[in-house]
Structures are given as structure tokens and as C-alpha cells.
Amino acid sequence: MQCLKCGDCCRIFSTVLLTDTEVESELYLTASRKVDKDVRLRKNTNGNCIYLQDNRCTIHPIKPMVCKNGKCPKWTGDLGFTKH
């Protein structure tokens, strides 16, 4: 199934953790390190990923590994969505 370009994946997931390599690359705007040393992408005040614009990822070619490996909730039926 192709991407529906709905942007839900960039809205639903509350935390996008970065790998050590991604943090060291300094390619991403990150939130503060948490007590457990995790580093995550910043969110807009509305809770969406800061890189989401017009339902599209503005850093798609270099998006974090967790985003590349993520499964669309609309495909899997997770998080209250129905399968398409």
C-alpha cells in the first residue's frame, strides 16, 4: 500500500527517539535530553512533529530511523484506526 499522505504518522506518535548517530549528526532539532538520556524530536505546540507541513514530512530523505521503520497506523489498524 502506498502512503496516503495524511500526516497521521507525524501526529499520532508522541515521541520520536533518535539514535546516538542521529543525535551526533546534528541534522535534527531535538528536545532536551530526558533523565534517561533519550533524545527526541521537538514537537510543535499542537503536538505535531516540527517537520510536518501540509501533511508531508519536510525531511523525508533524511528522516530518523524510527520514522523509516514505523508502520502506518492506517495500514495496521493500530491506535484506533481502521485498515484501508
pLDDT tens, residue order, the chain (84 aa): 567 778 888 887 767 888 889 888 888 877 655 546 788 888 888 888 889 999 888 998 998 988 888 777 666 555 443 333
Grid cell for residue 67: 520514522
Q: Where are the beta strands (DSSP E) in 1-84?
A: 52-53, 56-57
Q: What is the pLDDT of residue 81?
A: 39
Grid cell for residue 79: 491506535
User: Cα(46)–Cα(24) distance, rounded to whole angstroms?
Assistant: 27
Q: What is the pLDDT of residue 80?
A: 44
Q: What is the pLDDT of residue 82?
A: 39
Q: Which region, left, alpha or beta, applies to residue 62 given φ > 0 means left and ψ of -120 to 50 means alpha?
A: alpha
